[in-house]
Amino acid sequence: MEFFVFVCAALMILLGAVGVIVRKHPVHAALSLVLTLFGVAVLFVAQDAHFLAAVQVIVYAGAIVVLFLFVIMLLGVDRVENLRTEPLSAQRPLAIITCLGLLAVLVAAIVNGNGVLNERGEGINLPDLQNGSDANTVQLAESIFSRYVVAFEVTSVLLVIAVVGTVLLTRKAKSSAK
Amino acid sequence: MIALDSLLVDNLLWVPLIIVLVKVLVVFVVGLLATMLMVWFERKAIAGMQNRIGPNKTGPFGILQTLADGIKLFFKEDLFPSRADRFVFALAPFLSFVPAFLAFAIIPLGGDFRNGSSGEVTLFGQVTRVQLADPPIGVLFALAISSIAVYGIMLAGWSSGSKYPLLGSVRASAQMVSYEAALGLSLACVLLLAGTLSTSGIVSAQSTITDWHFISTGIVPFIVFLIAATAELNRPPFDLVEAEQELVGGFNTEYSSIRFALFYLAEFMNTVTMSALIVTLFFGGPQPIAIGNFVFDIPLLPNALEGTFWLLAKILVFLYMYIWFRATLPRLRYDQLMDLGWKLLIPASLGWFMLLATQRLARQNGWNIVLVTGASIAVLVVCYLLMQAAFAKSARDRSTQGTMF
């Protein structure tokens, strides 16, 4: 059963990922991204990480990709891009080299860590599902708001800075033109 | 592995499988029937409020009018606009119809939750719940589903390849994304008090009328949730999505035949689901009305079945209220809509959530409640003044420098 779910979800993820790259239309690419994110959510559920799955759907599929689509529609870039024009001529060969390098690193890591993957690491603390259905959420909240509270707060501040910066940049352009 | 239902934990047997299948079928049929009756109820009630007769030809009191309309739509020609994106155009109605039904799966539809009972019933020797699924993430599932529902409307408008639907869908998605924040924040207040995410847990935390979250969270979250839910449903007075005077028919202008029917169905199904969700979160779901130790008990009915009646009665109140909204309130302007969402509902629900959290922490640690309340009110007042100052500043800037976008 678990294997079956994994295969289905993995197929969804791969199909979506390939779709993001292959589809020429930005809206279709964004929709393929949603498929990938859903597949990841299914994998989370299969690993008993229900909260993460819900957040994955709410935040990524529900907010971020909607924002992508929103921008695509508002800016009117929803036309098929001409892929023949090259802004940077060395881009393609460089991209291929980087891809191969990344692939090599991943394969090396998997081959190297083959023995470790089969046994559970010490650091992972699996949610104790006998403790009721909310064990997952409780554990996550405890680690975010006690042990990693500084990192969590700093990340939030970073996000706020990004938002404020964006607003400031867009305003600046207008007032200097005046 | 995936313990959505207490039936599915151990090895799958035939009896549990059939029970689950029957539950799926019942929820689907009840959903369709509820939608059909809701459309009729809305038309009839609005007709009454506007001094008209309303549908009265098909069946007794015109109750089969929706069925007749549905059959008519089925037999209409299925049109594809010439500039439409065919795949997305065909996909969009299902993206809005399927989530509408999925969200109904987590509503506890009955069962005995009194005196801390778990609400589980025994059917043919199997212990189960009177709800299709009880996932550990419970209410978050409803939020996730409602964020998926945005896609249906957004893609419908975009794929039509026409101006008005696109404008309607851009409005809709902006509105739904912004009100989702207020919805989630007011929901958090309920979760804080219930201490669980699961819908059945939330229901069993509300056994007497003072435990109902609508009272125990202090009414503000309920009001915020109600307004945000109405906006999330794109129902009047927040139905800018399909403002006929400006946008012809909004996102579904180019749709006809069964595809249009699916949107229509999804809209009313969502109304029913949202009412059920409000009842579950704030009004005790299938719990009977109980004041102190006194319970309004319907005699001769088993408690589990009685829950269904209470749930239906409570849902009907909210359905009627939605119709009432539609008949009485004028539609908001777009800037008023965004102001209400961002400048009033989100700050209010955030502030209230902080207040509730502080109160809870103070009670847990045995701090002086009066002092804590005073301090939190002072902080909230300072925040409010700061926010007002920011609004005043931005309004001044707008009038001197003009709008930036």
Tens digits of residue pLDDT in A121-173: 554 555 555 556 667 788 888 888 888 999 999 999 999 999 999 888 877 55
Bridge-partner residues for B123, per DSSP?
A: B126
Angle, vertex CA B323, rays to CA B202 and CA B142, nearest 5 = 30
- Is the separation of the CB atoms in B111 and B120 below 8 Å? yes
Mean pLDDT value across chain B: 83
The full DSSP string for B174-200 is HHHHHHHHHHHHHHHHHHHHH---SHH
d(CA A150, CA B379): 23
Residue B2, pLDDT above cutoff 50: no
Q: Which residues of B touch A136 (CB under 8 A)?
A: 136
Please tell me which of the candidates A5, A69, A174 has its beta carbon nearest to residue B154. A69
Listing DSSP states for A97-127 in one string gives HHHHHHHHHHHHHHHHTHHHHHSPPSS----
Q: What is the C-alpha separation between B391 and B405, in angstroms, rounded? A: 17
State whether B136 and A63 contact (CB < 8 Å): no
| B244-253, B323-332, B376-385: least confidently modelled range | B244-253
The answer to whether B221 and B186 have CB atoms below 8 angstroms apart is yes
**Predicted pLDDT at B1:** 41
pTM for this prediction: 0.84
Does the beta-carbon distance from A58 to B143 stay under 8 Å?
Answer: yes
pLDDT of the residue at A161: 95
Task: Tell me the fold of A1-80.
Answer: Four Helix Bundle (Hemerythrin (Met), subunit A) (1.20.120)
Residues of B in contact with A5 (CB under 8 A): 1-2
Question: What is the C-alpha to C-alpha distance for residues A11 and A5, in angstroms, rounded to an integer?
Answer: 10
CB spacing of A129 vs B401 below 8 angstroms: no
User: Residue A143 and residue A125: Cα distance in Å, rounded?
Assistant: 11
Q: pLDDT tens for residues B240-265?
A: 777 767 776 677 777 888 888 888 88
Contact list, B173 vs chain A (CB under 8 Å)? 66, 69-70
Residue scoring higher pLDDT (A133 or A91): A91
The ranges assigned to domains in chain A are 1-80
A57 closest CA partner among A47, A77, A43 = A43
**What percent of chain A has a predicted confidence (pLDDT) above 90?**
22
d(CA B365, nearest CA chain A) in Å: 17
